[in-house]
Amino acid sequence: MTIQDLNFDKKRVLIRLDLNVPIEKNKIVSHARIKSSIPTIKKILKRNAKVILMSHLGRPKEGIYESKYSLFPVFEYLKKIFLKTNVYFFSKYEDSKNIKSGELCLLENVRFNIGETTNNLELSLKYSNLCDIFIMDAFGSAHRKHASTYGISKFCKKKCIGPLVLKEINSLNKIFKNPVRPMVSILGGSKISTKFKILNTLGKISDYIIVGGGIANTFIAINNKIGKSLHEKEYISKAYDLLKKYKIIIPVDSRVSTSFHQDSIAILKDVNKISKNEEIMDIGLKTEKVIQKIIKKSNTIIWNGPVGVFEFNQFANGTKCIAESISKNKGFSIAGGGDTISAIEKFNIEDKISYISTGGGSFLHFLENKKLPAIEILKK
């Protein structure tokens, strides 16, 4: 069911969102996830509902309040967005029952509650008692069987998926259902050991897979000495098997340094000339040119993960090259993952990507062709 199938007039509507945004010194660093949830909130408010929002933030210890994990900064941001609406913040969830139609409230971080991450049924029942209707619109948490994403659906008589989740699923399905070719997948990250399933899934549907970061380093280490670069020695043979099986593009040159620091000097080197005291921190110019050509010819692009230490300007060129190449492409592009979104924001190409997924783990789970528990229970 979707929001089109239900009557929200004067109903208490609990919406599970993904408001897990980076916060530093009580200031929100990236508003991307909040902004993507605003349309859903507006749609339900317009239908004269009593709107209750819930989300997690970070990974606090259950039962222990820590101000750095509080959703209060998100509440302050929402107040600025909904200037003509009464907006409340509740640490005591029961207080949400007192809001009126057309009003909005945000509940404190669900992960402060004992039993949230273990999908405690008693807690799930308490959540369900807060509302008449439950909307699951947190795609980024849909792969988790938690009380606020999964357990609550067992007890709510009326529930549906939200517009954001629906849009995510429809956009991601374009990749699996007759994608326009050529199709390229770009995969970054530190550990290849956590990405074998997705490499196999993408390998079967992609014409090319471009790898970066520690994942690429493990591939490079098949035939080269890579100094003190981040990689997983124990998975080199498994990486070699993938290389024989799929069209995987690995760097031919890199930007290296002898120290890991934002002021480190980037040295361009072919991957077969890296010294013992050097570490790979970005792809090189030759590799950039190869990638540019592939992306230019592609009609479907999947991007998950930067290809270097893009937080340091000296080593941001590779990720910037990918971002700009995708922004010039007129085909269908989809990007997902926290670091990927940060890179997209840094290089200011938000409006040049066909679809930016709000999910990190859920995005990868979906690409691995796994079922998302919080969505599956709603189907049942």
Please identify every residue annotated as catalytic.
33, 191, 338, 361
CA atoms within 13 A on the CB side of 221: 25
CA distance 26 to 187: 32
Identify residue 360 by its one-letter amino acid code.
Answer: G
Output the CA angle 43-27-147, nearest 5 degrees.
55
Task: Quote the strand ranges of the chain, DSSP E.
Answer: 12-16, 23-24, 27-28, 50-54, 87-90, 104-107, 133-136, 158-161, 183-187, 208-211, 248-249, 253-257, 267-270, 279-283, 300-304, 332-336, 355-357
CA distance 217 to 260: 16
DSSP 29-59: S--HHHHHHHHHHHHHHHTT-EEEEE---S-
Tokens representing residue 260 in the block: 């890991």
Tokens 């699951």 -> residue: 136
Closest CA to 250 of 271, 232, 267: 271
Tokens representing residue 306 in the block: 């930067």
By the 8 A CB rule, do 128 and 156 touch? Answer: yes
